[in-house]
Chains A and B, each alone.
Chain A
Amino acid sequence: DAGVTQTPRHEVAEKGQTIILKCEPVSGHNDLFWYRQTKIQGLELLSYFRSKSLMEDGGAFKDRFKAEMLNSSFSTLKIQPTEPKDSAVYLCASKGTANTGQLYFGEGSKLTVL
C-alpha cells in the first residue's frame, strides 16, 4: 500500500510568492491533517478534514493559509503571500475511519522563504 505522498519535497520561494503544497493520503483514509513543524514552535495543526469536510481551519493560520480537499485522494495547502516566517516543514497525515487514532505521516515538504 502506498503511504502518504507529499510534493514537492523542497520548495524555495521569494517573499510574497504563492506556493501550493500537495498531499495524497493513504488510499481509503477519510481524515486528513496538515501540520507545520518548526524547531521553535514544534508541531502545529493547520487544518483537519473529515470526509472532505473542513473540521478545523487552524485559527491563527487562517489569513494566508488555505487548505482544500479537492477529492478524497488529493489535498492542497496554499500559502499566499509567503513570508520568511513561513519557512518550515509542512507535514500531511491521514487516518482511517472508525475508532482508530493512528496517523500516517508523509515525508513532508520543506519550505524556505527568502
Chain B
Amino acid sequence: GEKVEQHESTLSVREGDSAVINCTYTDTASSYFPWYKQEAGKSLHFVIDIRSNVDRKQSQRLIVLLDKKAKRFSLHITATQPEDSAIYFCAASDSGSWQLIFGSGTQLTVMP
C-alpha cells in the first residue's frame, strides 16, 4: 500500500523567512496530495492541496510543488508569521478511494 514519508520532523525559521516541508510517496497511482495543519491542542485543518494534473499551486503565502517523476511534493510557506507555528501533515491518495495516507508530521516553529 501507499507510504508517505515526511522528511523533516521539526523545522525552525525566523519570522519573515520561508519554510519548506518535503514529502515523498510510493504509489504511482496516487493523484491527490493535501496538506493539513494542526495547532497545539486542536484538530487537523485543511490548508491546501494539489492534484497530479498540475505541478504547482499557490494560495496566498502557501505554494505546493509536485514532482511526479521523483514522487515528491513539498509545501512552501513564504513570509512566515508566528501563527504559522503548528504541525503540518502531508498526505496522499488516489482520487478514486479518497483514503488519505498521512505523513508523520512536521513541527514548524516560527521564531519572532
**Interface residues in chain B, defined as those with a beta carbon under 8 Å from any beta carbon in chain A:** 32, 34, 36, 42-46, 49, 89, 93, 95, 97-105
Contacts and interface: CB of A to CB of B under 8 A. Distances in A.
Interface in A89-109: 91, 93, 95, 99, 101-108
Interface residues of A, number: 21
Contacts of A105: 36, 43-45
A42 B103 contact: yes
Given A43-B89, A91-B44, A103 B102 contact: no
A45 B101 contact: yes
A42 B44 contact: no
B92 to A, nearest CB: 10
Given A91-B43, A102-B46, A103-B46, A42 B95 contact: no
Contacts of A99: 95
A55 interface: yes
A88 to B, nearest CB: 14
A14 interface: no
B3 to A, nearest CB: 12
Nearest to B34: A101
Contacts of A107: 42-43
A45 B100 contact: yes
A106 B98 contact: no
A102 B43 contact: no
